[in-house]
Structure 1
Amino acid sequence: MTQRPNSDTSRGNSRRRTTRRAFLTGAGAATLTALAGCSGGENDGGDGESGGATDTDGGTADGTDSMTESATTESSMGDSMTIFHAGSLAPPFSEAEPSFEDEYGVDVNREAKGSVASTQKITQQGRSADVLGTSDFRLIRDRILPDFGDWYAIFTTNSMSIQYREDSPGAGDISKDNWWEVLTRDDITIGHSDPAVDPGGYRAVMTQQLGKEEFNGERLYDESTYQALRDNSVVPTGTETNLEGQLESGELDYVFYYQSISSTADKPFIDLQPEVDLSQATSEYAKHYAKAEVETGSGTFTGAPIAYGMTVPNVAEAPGRGAQWVEYFASDAGRTVLEDKGLVPVDPIVVPANGEDAVPDRVMNVANAQSNLGPLEL
């Protein structure tokens, strides 16, 4: 589909992509301020002992005989694999799937759902997946490790935006400089996904919260405007992937969701201020983003720069295939897919230094091990 942004959008996208790519390339050398991660997580059931991660080549380090090693390799590299992933990862993962299947001769089965809900499939429902991809890496760090996994990789970033129809009420008036004034009118309905199951939902609320918080002595609007935004906001769906259809049908007038979705859809959108869009991975912005907090039935979430994570859980049935999938998105082909779908790849991908020994060789060969990614504590 063809992007149809306003002039603010196209200039803003170019500036942000350049800034974030430059930061992410040199993040390890920055002076870092760690953010608090998600708190109030689930009391996950299960003992997490459904099998450890196997390295990509299926080899062993304990001198087992060749027959055992061959069986391990065959199990690790099954002819099918399962991926649980965030709804906002559906476009790039769907795009990558056919070529990945052709290259490796494997049948890829994907389940798109909010990242919180995707994580709960493993921690609460006892299900197995060979890859878990979340739009907030902290869900893996805080809820998968150490019981259901040993490592993760940060591989892409995003930002928040507002999309609308050309005939949405106020569409002729709205701009980057006044979106809160239009969205607080009496005849406006704003939609976002469910914060309890989807980071896109709690980040939508955070975006609204941050507009009333001072940044460098200024703020976009006051407390009463924030309350009016919340009064006009509804949660019609669990994940952000369904919002576009509800916007198209007229059920919603405006939606808060990821810039990657907005920029690849055939509708106008607003590219938001960096103080509210959760795009800036610097200590100054991270401290500001952390002022936002959203309480949900599945935990309390604190604002932070957006960073996506992937892991091969310990419950994986074909962990070698999972490692191949992570490796693919560290390659030129994978990064191109991410960029084509409006995301900003982390190049190279980053894994936590304290879990480096658990990372499969296939992934470690294309990753950097770091203690922090800018202000984000790994």
Structure 2
Amino acid sequence: MNAIGDCVEKRVSRRTLLATSATLVGVGAAGCLGSNTESVSVLAAGSLAHTFEDHVGPAFENETGIEVHGEYYGANAVMRMVEDRTKHPDVVVSADATLLRDRLYGEFTDWDVEFAANSVGIGYNDETTFGRRLEDGEPWYELARETDEGDLAIGDPNLDPLGYRAVQAFELAEKEYDLDGFRDEMMDVVYEEPDEPQIVAGVESGSRAGAVVYRNMAVDHESPFLEFPDAYNFADPDRADHYATVEFTTDEEGYTAEGRPVLYNATVNDEADEPEAGHQLVQFLVENPDLLDDAGLTVGDGIPRAKGAVPEEIDV
């Protein structure tokens, strides 16, 4: 049997236990363009769950025949799982480029590629009083001060960058509008969602009036979204020094994160089972900015951008 036929045979035999014959026809058509590897494992920031499951994964498999098996957690938790080897991914993706470098460089990798950016704001339910007043143009921070405990959600700042960026946004807004004590007020009333991919679900159901989320998360769920101003949306690279005037230190690891622009980066674990497939996936992220844009991310000037000893398989 030729190489392509052999590849299809392997994929079909594995999936006969998992799929219908109709599914097998689609899998066979996908082929194995460039690798005999059947899957690549990804451990990624929770805000990218829909991006990978609905956009990147299907498109990558269609092009290469390689399935993406993803798991999604707060990026702090992702780094901890890699460090203690609780998880053993081929590709690691962070919502904070500096976090990945601080935690994984040296032992697990010595390179990464920044492939997309994002912005921070409030995803809200327009059927709640908070949402209706927000759409009427009332300042979000004044409305936030009037909310009851648990009405607004943020990510757990000890588990993911979205969480600590929410805290940092509160602090920057406090400075921006001279809102004495605003950060502490917010931390007394917000609900800290430990499962980042679920943070929008509470807003959709109406159990939360709103949540501090990334733009792509609102796009994923087709939810109303109010982007914060550049002064605290962490989307403007030219304001990096301004963002860095605030910081947050996590409880368990004692990791201190300065405020910084939202940049997603990816690397291949030195201990990867399928490094070739991992390199292909990172290259795919580099080569498909329109796909990422459709998913609600931003690929602007200066992206993609490589750092460290990037392997020759990656062309940025």
Taking structure 1 as the reference length, what is the TM-score of the superposition? 0.69
Superposition deviation, residue 102 in structure 1: 3.1
Residue 89 of structure 1 pairs with residue 44 of structure 2: no
Q: Higher mean Cα deviation, 118-127 or 133-142?
A: 118-127
Instruction: Give the aligned partner of residue 24 of structure 1.
Output: none
Q: Which amino acid aligns with 1:80?
A: S
Closer, same or farther in 2 for the Cα pair 1:264/1:100, shift >3 Å? closer
User: Could you tell me which of 137, 142, 145 is aligned with 1:184?
Assistant: 145
User: Is 1:236 aligned to 2:198, yes or no?
Assistant: no
| Counterpart in the other structure of 1:200 | 162
User: Bigger CA drift: 269-278 or 289-298?
Assistant: 289-298
Please tell me whether the aligned partners of residues 293 and 300 of structure 1 are also in contact (alpha carbons under 8 angstroms): yes
Distance change (3 Å), C-alpha of 1:182 and 1:82:
same
Residue 186 (structure 1) shift:
4.4
Count, aligned residues: 276
Which runs of 5 or more structure 1 residues have no equivalent in the other structure? 1-75, 214-218, 368-378
Counterpart-to-counterpart distance in 1, 2:201 and 2:274 = 35
Distance 1:153 1:123 in 2: 20
Aligned residue in 1 for 2:306: 351
SS of the equivalent of 2:130 reads coil
Does the 8 Å CA contact 1:77/1:319 hold for their aligned counterparts?
Answer: no
Residues 193 and 200 in structure 1, CA contact (< 8 A), matched pair in contact too? yes
Percent identity, aligned pairs only, is 28
Specify the alignment match of 2:5 in structure 1.
none
Q: How does 1:191-340 map to 2 (within 5 A)?
A: 191-213=153-175, 219-239=176-196, 241-282=197-238, 285-297=239-251, 298=253, 299-331=255-287, 334-340=288-294
Distance in 1, matches of 2:243 and 2:276, equals 37
Q: CA deviation at 1:300?
A: 1.9
- Checking the alignment, whether the CA contact within 8 Å between 1:156 and 1:345 is kept in structure 2 is yes
Alignment of 1:60-99 (within 5 A): 78-94=37-53, 95-99=55-59
Structure 2 residue runs without a partner (length 5+) = 1-34
Instruction: Describe the superposition over 1:51-107 as per-residue Cα deviations: whole angstroms up to 9, x where unpaired.
Output: xxxxxxxxxxxxxxxxxxxxxxxxx96332211001111222121212322332223
C-alpha distance in structure 2 between counterparts of 1:177 and 1:362, whole Å: 51
**Consecutive aligned runs of 4 or more in structure 1 exceeding 6 Å deviation:** none
- Aligned equivalent of 1:129, options 89, 94, 102: 89
RMSD: 1.9
Letter in 1 for 2:203: L
* In 2: Cα distance, 1:77 partner to 1:150 partner: 26
Name the SS for the 2:85 alignment partner. coil
CA distance in structure 1 between the aligned counterparts of 2:280 and 2:147, rounded to whole angstroms: 51
Q: Residue 34 of structure 1 corresponds to which residue in structure 2?
A: none
Q: Would the aligned equivalents of 1:130 and 1:316 in 2 still touch at CA under 8 Å?
A: yes
Q: Is the 8 A contact 1:169 1:187 kept in 2?
A: no
Show the counterpart of 2:133.
173
Secondary structure of residue in 2 paired with 1:112: strand
Q: Larger helix proportion, structure 1 or 2?
A: 2
